[in-house]
Amino acid sequence: MTNVPAIEVRGLTRVFESRKGFLFREVSRTEALRGLDLTVEPEAIFGLLGPNGAGKTTLVKILSTLLLPSTGTALVLGHDVVEESAWLRPRIGLVLGGERGLYNRINARDNLRYFADLYGIPPHEREHRIDEVLERVGLEGAADRRVEEYSRGMKQKLHIARGILHRPQVLFLDEPTIGLDPKSARETRKLVRSLVSDGVTIFLTTHYMFEAEELCPEIAVMSKGRIVARDTVAGLRQLVGGDRTLEAEAYGFEDREVDAIRHLPGVSKVVSEEYGPRTRLTVRLRSLETTPDQVVATLPGHPELAVRERRTSLEDVYLDLVEEEAP
């Protein structure tokens, strides 16, 4: 491959306007993307996280030429998604989560034949390619069953088979394991990794932190139409104040006690939350200087105190980043 980025986005915006009412037409305006910048290197898995409505699907649809941006530019494989969509379409694949987009009344093989023709796969190659992708997603035994008899997991596998049938160089996976049982989700992740070893660039959105952490060397967090952070998981942990987290729980803490914790060495952040009658202090640590024992020593007079230490999780990072963006 050349060193052209797989994806390059500059100042991308997308506004949705919808009209409500009959007589008094009200126009509601949603800014789904608000000046988004992003570069993704080729031949790896890039993960995009973000709350519902952050704009992930909107971005994926623009990058896969399904939706036009309002302003800004987006290049995939160095080619403009608006101006050069015809060049791009055969080179990119898109898999959206959910059950739409397949023909239920016909079997999996016929579904794939339909899409093969749509993608312009030559007839002499068609059957061979279909067998190949069916085997790759593990549906070879169910190829002749009607899709309406398929379970959700099988449908999702068929979606992926459709998405890779034309051997795209960049594959967009929008929540590919949504609603899948753990075994099917794991098989899907394995398949995604095998595609990367074949040189495919994967752009993945997910709400499963574990999945992002397992699959993606680099992760971006999106909130309200912008990328708010982008790094490796280790880098993101540092960004939110360190890779160790202590949790101290008791029946309420005084402000001065919370302050004392805040001033312990290496502490970057203390958050207090109520859990029924109990209060939990979540203490983010940049270094090993402060131990659970020191936290206990700083909070005398709480015989009920429980302190535990854990690694800062990607979920902690995500919640911190998204919270900072909250109104």
Ligand X SMILES: Nc1ncnc2c1ncn2[C@@H]1O[C@H](COP(=O)(O)OP(=O)(O)OP(=O)(O)O)[C@@H](O)[C@H]1O
Q: CA Rg, the chain, in Å?
A: 24
69 binds, among ligand X, Mg ion, none (CB under 5 to 8 A by kind): none
Q: Which stretch binds Mg ion (CB under 5 A): 50-58, 156-164, 208-216, 288-296?
A: 50-58
> Which of 162, 174, 199 has the alpha carbon at shortest distance from 50?
174
* Total residues belonging to the chain: 327
CB of 65 vs ligand X, minimal distance in Å: 16
- Nearest distance from residue 19's CB to ligand X, in Å? 11
CA distance 270 to 263: 10
Residue 16 interacting partner from ligand X, Mg ion, none (CB closer than 5 to 8 Å by kind):
ligand X
Beta carbon of residue 61, minimum distance to ligand X (angstroms, whole number): 8
Tell the smallest beta-carbon distance from residue 179 to Mg ion (Å): 14
Is 56 or 113 the residue whose CB approaches Mg ion more closely? Answer: 56
Least separation, in Å, of the C-beta of 56 and Mg ion?
A: 5
Residue 156 binds to Mg ion (criterion: CB under 5 A): no
**Residue 111 contacts which entry, ligand X, Mg ion, none (Cβ below 5-8 A, type-dependent):** none
Partner whose binding site includes residue 52, from ligand X, Mg ion, none (CB under 5 to 8 Å by kind): ligand X
Q: Between residues 33 and 299, which has the closer beta carbon with respect to ligand X? A: 33
**How many Cβ atoms from other residues are within 10 Å of residue 138's Cβ?**
17
User: Which three-class secondary structure state does DSSP give residue 198?
Assistant: coil
Nearest CB to Mg ion, comparing residues 57 and 65: 57
d(Cα 132, Cα 198) in Å, to the nearest integer? 14
Query: Which does residue 287 bind out of Mg ion, ligand X, none, counting CB within 5 to 8 angstroms by kind?
Result: none
Task: Say which amino acid occupies 100.
Answer: R
CB of 175 to ligand X, least distance (A): 7
CB of 311 to ligand X, least distance (A): 26
Q: Please, which residue, 178 or 191, has the CB nearer to ligand X? A: 178
Q: Which does 36 bind (CB under 5 to 8 A by kind): Mg ion, ligand X, none?
A: none
- Residue keyed to tokens 């339909």: 114
- In the list 7, 32, 45, 57, the residue contacting Mg ion (rule: CB under 5 A) is 57
Percentages of the chain per state (helix, strand, coil), in multiples of 5: 35, 30, 35
Among residues 61 and 237, whose Cβ is nearest to Mg ion? 61
Q: Closer to ligand X by CB, 29 or 256: give it.
A: 29
Give the interface size with Mg ion as a residue count (CB under 5 A): 2
Q: Which residue pairs from 302-306 have beta carbons closer than 8 angstroms and sit at least 24 positions apart in sequence? A: 302/250, 302/251, 302/253, 304/250, 304/251, 305/248, 305/249, 305/250, 306/248, 306/249, 306/250
β-sheet bridge partners, residue 246: 283, 309
User: Distance (Å, rounded) from C-alpha 226 to C-alpha 72?
Assistant: 13
Nearest CB to ligand X, comparing residues 32 and 36: 32
Nearest residue to 69 via CA among 225, 228, 229, 227: 225
Distance CA 118, CA 296 (A): 66
Binding site for ligand X (CB under 6 A): 16, 18, 30, 32, 50, 52-58
Q: How far apart are the first and last CA of the chain?
A: 43
Q: Which does 30 bind (CB under 5 to 8 A by kind): Mg ion, ligand X, none?
A: ligand X
What is the smallest separation between the CB atom of 52 and Mg ion, expressed in angstroms? Answer: 7
Please report, as ranges, the residues that interact with Mg ion according to CB under 5 A.
Answer: 56-57
